[in-house]
Amino acid sequence: MTSPDADGYVTVTGYALEGASVGVVNDRTLEGTVVTTDADECESTCAWEARLRAEAGDPLRAWQFFETEGSINVQVPKPR
């Protein structure tokens, strides 16, 4: 993990199962992001990188989702 940059973002990196989604949440602000692992020629674990707003000392939480049955796919509607 990096220190906060001039814009207030940190970069968190790690490894997760190939094709997994990874969530990272700042527990102080309750804001976060979800990214997916790189799938280019990696073995069973692949690299991921997430950027989110955080200050020095903020507690961050990360977890992976893999083949989750409870998810749904939706599309953003076109403007009217």
Per-residue model confidence as pLDDT tens digits over 33-59: 999 987 667 778 899 999 999 999 999
The more confidently predicted of residues 38 and 27 is 27
**What single-letter amino acid sits at 64?**
Q
Tokens in use for 51? 């950027």
Q: Does the pLDDT value for residue 12 go beyond 90?
A: yes
Average pLDDT, the chain: 89
The pLDDT, as a whole number, for residue 34 is: 95
CA angle 19, 65, 71 (to 5 degrees): 100
Q: Are 11 and 1 in contact (CB under 8 A)?
A: yes
Indicate whether 9 pLDDT > 90: yes
Q: Is 5 helix (H, G, I), strand (E, B) or coil?
A: coil
- Global pTM value: 0.80
Contacts of 46 (CB under 8 A, 6+ apart): 15, 16, 17, 18, 19, 20, 37, 38, 39
